Each structure stands twice: as structure tokens, then as C-alpha cells.
């Protein structure tokens, strides 16, 4: 069959390598991020362009069955860990059921999610019961007015209640903040203390210029070095932590010299990028497999399923995508080289 693809699909001459999840640069894909919706109950300034995005019609989203099928093929190829994201994953109708179904796909050992936390007060316990192991919760500021402005109406007290509900339900929690000058750089220490008081790690993310570099926060980016400088001044001297990188994610961890149990992570995709160790690919809600966050290339796996493709066809399309995984992203802090795609559709 001819594979229906977005971008360049596998030519008939393409022979999938023995290990379809090993790319041309000898990087091994171990981890699949699945965006289950491109919709969100927030609209964070650093994520959504001012004029919004064109949401995919419902009929274009992968159904639960299509997602199970695609995930099962990834699992057969060796992926063991899934992260469910969005948009905001918890706004997808039936999300708890979906999480449980994906957790039960043979071969999948761990399902975690990335969420803005708004729905965790109600959903943390059902998600834990469905087999979800952890939640990374976005928390950029503790100030209610600032939070509402940054997220377009979000309620930080609800998110904090969601974080506490997640901890009470036994989920492994990490907190994430995009660090931005003039937005939350005066709160980096307060966010760390908030996290440490709950025994969890705080992670700061360097802003990435998706949406063709057109996001509102362009120009407010803080580099990893600037984040470390802030923290060293405001919370104390830091030293590298030996917390494992890799399968656990791209963050580099630091700990307080005077209190080593207090750790902070920095995800520095821009100034200290980690492309050489990248182990992930991303599936959008409409089934596009993106091998790199920093490029628009994608292969549409949903179309393979809807065209009646076999599991072998899906594996071949996955292999083609992984084969095409770029050596690294090319975006600059100025926005140059940024992909046209939007973070809200990619899920981080
Ligand atoms: N709605 C969920 C949330 O906010 O956690 C999941 C999707 S969100 C796109 C995933 C992560 O991407 C969040 O931690 C968010 O802070 C981060 N993010 C969004 N836009 C970003 C950008 N331009 N640069 C860096 N990180 C970004
Ligand atoms: Fe929504 Fe998450 Fe993007 Fe904020 S970062 S707009 S919560 S998808």
C-alpha cells in the first residue's frame, strides 16, 4: 500500500532497519508522548499564539481504539513508557478511561501525564486507580492575579488543591514552570520552596519559540545559566545532583549544597540543548508522529490506520519517522528556525 502521510512518507524502497526505534544518529527511542487533545481550559501566553490556533475537528482526533492500536505497535517495538499530554489532557472526554486503557496495553509499564492541574482535585484519585503513576503539573506562579493573567483565567488555588490531591492519591509529582524575565523571575525561589515543602522537585523550563517564534513571551526568555544565577542568589549555592537523566526526561538536576535533598531541575532545550540524548517521539491528537519538537516533519499514523494499514504498515511508518529524526533542532532564542507548529498541539 502507499502510506498516506503528512510530509515525506516512506518511499517503496525504504527498508525498515532491524530496530525501527534506533535513529540514524544511534539514538534509541524509548518514550512516547501522546497528545490526546489540542484543546485546553487555559491559554498560557507562552504556549498559545495571540490569535489562537485552529483546533482539529473531533472526527480528526484519534479514537481511543486508534490510540490503543498505535500504542500497541510502539510497545511491540520496545516502548515501555507513555506520557499523556495535550493541550490539556484532562479535558478530553473520557480521559480517565483512556489513561486506563493505554496503561493496560501489553508491554506498557508506565503511564504518566503532564497537566495544568485544574481538574486534578476530582481526577487525581480516579487516575491513580486507573494505573497512572505520576503527574507533572505546570505551576508558573503562586500569585493568583499573575496566574490568572498568564493562563487567561486559571485559578491557582485550584491547581494547588490539584497538586495536593495528586500527592494524596500517591502520584509521583513534579512541578514545571517556564521561567520568564519580568513575568515570574522574582518567584523562582518561592516556587522551589513551595515544591520542597511538599517533598517534590521544581523544574524550570527555558522558553521555546514554537509558532514560528511568534509567541507573546519572545524576548523574555531566561537561559539555564540565568536561572541558576537567580537560584544561587536566592536559595543558596547549587551543585549538580546525581539524579538520573535519560528515560526520566531531559532535565538536568541540581541540589542545594547545604540541603542535598532539595533538588531543582532545569530543562534547557535552547542554551544547553540535549538533542544528542533525545529518546522520545511525539504523537499529536490527530495522529501525526513528530520525531522532533523543533521541526515540522510528521508522518500521520492515524491515516495509516484509517486506510486499513496493518501493524506492519504502522511499524514501517514509525520506522520512517524515526529514520527521519533530525540531528537537532535549529531554533534560536530570537525565534529564527522555529517550526510553525504550536506547543499547545504538541504537548511540550
Ligand atoms: N496543559 C498541560 C500543561 O500545561 O502542563 C500539558 C501541555 S503543555 C503544552 C506541556 C508543557 O509545555 C507545560 O509544562 C508548559 O509549561 C510547557 N510549554 C508550553 N509552551 C512552552 C514554550 N513556548 N516553551 C517551553 N515550554 C512550554
Ligand atoms: Fe494549556 Fe498547558 Fe498550553 Fe497552558 S501550557 S495553554 S495549560 S496546553
Best residue among 42, 44, 47, 223 to mutate for probing ligand 1, ranked by most atoms within 8 Å of CB: 47
User: What phi and psi values does residue 188 have, to the nearest 5 degrees?
Assistant: -60, -40
With beta carbons less than 8 A apart as the criterion, state whether 64 and 101 touch. yes
**Looking at the chain, which runs of residues are DSSP E strands?**
31-35, 81-85, 110-115, 134-138, 172-178, 201-205, 238-240, 252-256, 259-267, 280-283, 288-290, 299-300
217 within some domain: yes
| 274 lies in some domain | yes
- Per-residue model confidence as pLDDT tens digits over 86-145: 999 999 999 999 999 999 999 999 999 999 999 999 999 999 999 999 999 999 999 999
Is residue 259 included in any domain, yes or no? yes
User: Residue 9 falls within a domain, yes or no?
Assistant: no
Q: Within a domain: residue 4?
A: no
Number of domains in the chain: 1
CATH number assigned to the domain comprising residue 202: 3.20.20.70
In which band, very low, low, confident or very high, does the pLDDT at 2 lie, cut at 50, 70 and 90? very low
Domain ranges, residue 116: 31-346
Residue at 164 is within a domain? yes
Residue 247 lies in a domain: yes
Alpha-carbon distance of 98 to 102, in angstroms, equals 6
What is the distance between the alpha carbons of residues 163 and 182, in angstroms, rounded to a whole number?
25
Of all ligands present, the nearest one to the C-alpha of 220 is 1
68 by Cβ neighbours in 10 Å (0-12 / 13-18 / 19+) ranks as middle
Residue 77 domain flag:
yes
Ligand 2 pocket member 176 (CB < 6 A) = no
- CA distances, 149 to each of 43, 211, 217, 279 (Å): 10, 20, 13, 34
Q: Which tens digit of pLDDT belongs to each residue from 255-306?
A: 999 999 999 999 988 888 888 889 899 999 999 999 999 888 899 999 999 9
As given in the structure block, the three cell numbers for residue 83 are 506520557
Indicate the top mutation candidate among 36, 43, 203 to test ligand 2's pocket, ranked by most ligand atoms within 8 A of CB: 43
Q: What's the pTM?
A: 0.94
Amino acid at each position: 500500500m502507499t502510506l498516506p502521510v503528512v510530509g515525506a512518507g516512506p518511499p517503496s524502497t525504504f527498508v525498515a532497519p532491524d530496530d525501527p526505534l534506533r535513529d540514524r544518529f544511534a539514538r534509541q527511542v524509548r518514550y512516547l508522548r501522546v497528545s490526546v487533545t489540542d484543546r485546553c481550559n487555559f491559554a498560557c501566553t507562552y504556549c498559545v499564539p495571540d490569535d489562537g490556533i485552529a483546533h482539529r475537528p473531533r472526527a480528526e482526533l484519534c479514537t481511543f481504539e486508534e490510540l490503543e492500536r498505535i500504542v500497541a505497535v510502539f510497545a511491540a517495538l520496545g516502548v515501555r513508557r507513555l506520557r499523556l499530554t495535550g493541550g490539556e489532557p484532562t479535558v478530553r472526554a473520557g480521559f480517565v478511561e483512556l489513561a486506563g486503557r493505554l496503561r493496560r496495553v501489553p508491554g506498557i509499564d508506565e503511564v504518566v501525564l503532564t497537566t495544568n492541574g485544574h481538574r486534578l482535585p476530582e481526577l487525581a484519585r480516579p487516575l491513580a486507580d486507573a494505573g497512572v503513576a505520576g503527574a507533572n503539573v505546570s505551576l508558573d506562579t503562586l500569585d493568583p492575579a499573575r496566574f490568572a493573567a498568564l493562563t487567561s483565567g486559571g485559578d491557582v488555588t485550584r491547581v494547588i488543591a490539584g497538586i495536593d490531591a495528586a500527592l494524596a492519591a500517591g502520584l509521583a509529582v513534579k512541578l514545571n514552570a517556564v521561567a520568564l524575565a519580568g513575568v515570574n523571575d522574582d518567584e523562582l525561589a518561592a516556587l522551589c520552596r513551595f515544591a520542597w515543602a511538599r517533598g517534590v522537585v521544581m523544574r524550570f523550563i527555558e522558553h521555546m519559540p514554537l509558532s514560528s517564534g511568534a509567541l507573546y513571551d519572545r524576548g523574555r526568555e531566561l537561559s539555564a545559566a540565568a536561572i541558576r544565577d537567580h537560584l544561587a542568589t536566592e536559595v543558596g549555592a547549587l551543585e549538580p545532583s546525581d539524579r538520573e537523566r535519560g528515560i526520566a526526561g531531559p532535565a538536568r538536576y541540581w541540589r542545594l549544597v547545604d540541603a542535598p535533598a532539595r533538588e531543582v531541575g532545569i530543562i534547557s532545550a535552547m542554551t544547553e540543548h540535549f538533542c544528542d540524548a533525545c529518546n522520545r517521539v511525539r504523537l499529536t491528537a490527530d495522529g501525526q508522529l513528530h520525531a522532533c519538537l523543533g521541526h515540522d516533519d510528521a508522518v500521520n499514523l492515524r491515516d495509516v490506520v484509517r486506510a486499513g494499514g496493518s501493524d506492519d504498515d504502522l511499524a514501517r511508518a514509525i520506522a520512517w519517522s524515526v529514520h527521519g529524526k533530525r540531528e537537532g533542532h535549529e531554533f534560536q532564542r530570537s525565534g529564527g528556525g522555529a517550526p510553525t507548529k504550536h506547543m499547545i498541539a504538541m504537548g511540550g
